C-alpha cells in the first residue's frame, strides 16, 4: 500500500515521514496555506533517505512554470490539481498524478482516458476546509478505474484509513490535514497513519 504525505514544508517533517515508511512526499507549489518555494523543497528533498519519491503539486499553472519549478525542486512526479487538459499532461516529461474532485460517479467519466500514472480521488474543495467528511467509498467501487491506479484522499485520518482501504482497495492513500495538529505536521499522527495504512488486512476484515 502506497502512502503519500502531502504538504511537506520542513526537513523535519519530510525525514520523519520518510523514515516512518511514506512512499511519496508531496510539495505544494500552487496557491495554498502549505505552499513551499522550489528552492526550499529542493533542500528538503536533498536530505531525504533514499527510496522516497517526491511529488510536485500544481494547479492551473503555465507549462513552463511547472517544468521550471519541478526541475528546480527535483521532484519525481507532477500532480495536476486543476483543469489541465489531457494534452498538457501528455507533454510533461514526468509521470503524472491527476487529482479529481469527486461529488458523484459522473465526475470520474473524464478520468478513464486521462494520461496519468495515478488518479487521486479527493473531496471537492468546499467540503475540505475544517471538515472530517470523506468520499463515498462504496460508490468508488463502481468508478470504472483500475484499483491499481487509484490514490484515495479526502478526509483520511489514522482512525479511518484502514476502513477506507478495505472499502476501495486502492493502490495508495494520500493525506495532508489528517496528520496535522493546528496546521502543522504531527509526528505521532504521521506514524499512526502510515502504520494503519500498511497494516495487513485479515480475511475477516475484508
Q: Copy the grid coordinates of residue 200.
A: 495487513
Query: In angstroms, how far is CA 83 from the centroid of its own chain?
Result: 17
Residues 105 and 139: beta-carbon distance below 8 Å: yes
Q: Identify the residue with better confidence: 130 or 52.
A: 52
Q: What is the total count of domains within the chain? A: 1
- Span 159-165, average pLDDT: 96
pTM of the prediction?
0.93
Q: Identify the residue with better confidence: 131 or 48.
A: 48
SS (H, E, C) 53-87: EEEEEECCCCHHHHHHHHHHHCCCEEEECCCCCHH
- What is the predicted pLDDT for the residue at 206? 47
Domain coverage including residue 130: 2-197
Q: Is residue 202 part of a domain?
A: no
Q: Copy the grid coordinates of residue 53.
A: 519519491
Q: Is residue 203 part of a domain?
A: no
- Residue range 51-95, pLDDT digits in tens: 899 999 999 999 999 999 999 999 999 999 999 999 999 999 999
Q: Is residue 205 part of a domain?
A: no
- Cα separation of 52 and 139, whole Å? 31
Q: Tell me how far CA of residue 30 lies from CA of 27, 69, 112, 187, in angstroms.
A: 9, 11, 25, 24
CATH number where 29 lies: 3.20.20.70
- Residue range 98-113, pLDDT digits in tens: 999 988 878 887 788 8
Of 84, 92, 87, nearest to 55 by C-alpha is 92
**Which three-class secondary structure state does DSSP give residue 13?**
helix
Of 135, 184, 141, 123, nearest to 161 by C-alpha is 135
Amino acid at each position: 500500500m502506497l502512502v503519500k504525505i502531502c504538504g511537506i514544508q520542513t526537513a523535519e517533517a519530510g525525514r520523519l515521514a520518510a523514515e516512518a515508511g511514506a512512499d511519496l512526499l508531496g510539495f505544494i507549489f500552487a496557491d495554498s496555506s502549505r505552499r513551499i518555494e522550489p528552492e526550499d523543497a529542493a533542500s528538503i528533498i536533498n536530505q531525504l533517505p533514499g527510496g522516497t519519491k517526491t511529488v510536485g503539486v500544481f494547479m492551473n499553472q503555465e507549462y513552463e512554470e511547472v517544468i521550471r519549478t519541478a526541475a528546480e525542486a527535483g521532484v519525481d512526479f507532477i500532480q495536476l490539481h486543476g483543469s489541465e487538459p489531457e494534452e498538457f499532461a501528455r507533454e510533461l516529461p514526468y509521470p503524472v498524478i491527476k487529482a479529481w474532485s469527486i461529488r458523484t460517479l459522473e465526475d470520474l467519466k473524464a478520468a478513464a482516458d486521462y494520461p496519468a500514472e495515478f488518479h487521486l480521488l479527493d473531496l471537492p474543495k468546499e467540503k475540505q476546509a475544517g471538515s472530517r467528511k470523506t468520499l463515498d467509498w462504496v460508490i468508488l467501487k463502481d468508478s470504472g478505474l483500475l484499483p491499481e491506479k487509484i490514490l484515495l484522499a479526502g478526509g483520511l485520518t489514522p482512525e479511518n484509513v484502514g476502513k477506507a482501504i478495505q472499502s476501495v482497495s486502492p493502490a495508495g492513500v494520500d493525506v495532508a490535514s489528517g496528520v496535522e495538529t493546528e496546521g502543522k505536521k504531527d509526528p505521532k499522527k504521521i506514524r499512526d497513519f502510515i502504520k494503519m495504512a500498511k497494516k495487513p488486512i485479515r480475511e475477516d476484515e475484508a
